[in-house]
Amino acid sequence: MAEAVFFYLFTGLMFVAALSVVFNRRPIYSVLSLLVVVFCLASLFVLLGAYFVAALQLLLYAGAVLVLFLFAVMLLNLAPEELQRMRPFTLRGIGTVTAVFLFLHLARLFLRAPATAPLPPPAAGSGSVESVGRLLFTTYFLPFELTSFLILAALIGAVTLAKQQPSGE
């Protein structure tokens, strides 16, 4: 019973924080809301018994990726007026239509899904360091490396955008 209460508590908090990431006008607050999402997700991993994955979630995402996002936001130092100029109405419309389409598609999938029995508990070593490492460096090696290049490209892009002089100066 307590597990279900914590699951719904962390899931609800994560949902509210994710909405805050999307709808916040200030980028710093969006990054801090994303930090709350990462902590809630790590808490859900703890509830599942995957302690190592929860620790990785906190160390990698909260400790590294979000710090990178925070530095990028601080380097860009965008004023709210500049943010509004960067978000034309057409992009908001396209994003809204896409989000509604995805939501309707997910709702259709959930309504058509047959009721299934509860999943069996995870295997004893499924969240261990050995099993995660084996999967990471065999099955998921290419996505792991591509993610590192993506983060490097984001860092280079943030520094490049921060170094550009505004056209008014």
Length of the chain in residues, anyone? 169
Residues 25-47: tens digit of each pLDDT: 777 888 888 899 999 999 999 99
Contacting residues for 115 by C-beta, under 8 A, at least 6 apart: none
| Total number of domains constituting the chain | 1
CATH of the domain at 37: 1.20.120.1200
Burial class (CB in 10 A: 0-12, 13-18, 19+), 150: exposed
Looking at residue 10, what is its pLDDT?
Answer: 92
pLDDT exceeds 90 at position 13: yes
Burial class (CB in 10 A: 0-12, 13-18, 19+), 50: buried
- Report yes or no on 92 lying in a domain: no
- Report yes or no on 16 lying in a domain: yes
pLDDT exceeds 70 at position 15: yes
Q: Quote the pTM value.
A: 0.56
Residues 63-122: tens digit of each pLDDT: 888 887 777 777 776 665 655 565 556 666 777 888 899 889 988 888 887 777 776 766
- Report yes or no on 45 lying in a domain: yes
- Report yes or no on 50 lying in a domain: yes
Q: To the nearest whole percent, how much of the chain has pLDDT over 70?
A: 82
- Report yes or no on 68 lying in a domain: yes
User: What is the spatial distance between Cα 122 and Cα 164, in angstroms, rounded to a whole number?
Assistant: 50
User: What is the spatial distance between Cα 8 and Cα 1, in angstroms, rounded to a whole number?
Assistant: 11
- Report yes or no on 91 lying in a domain: no
- 5 vs 113, more confident: 5
Domain of 128 in residue numbering reads as 2-79+124-163
Looking at residue 41, what is its pLDDT?
Answer: 92
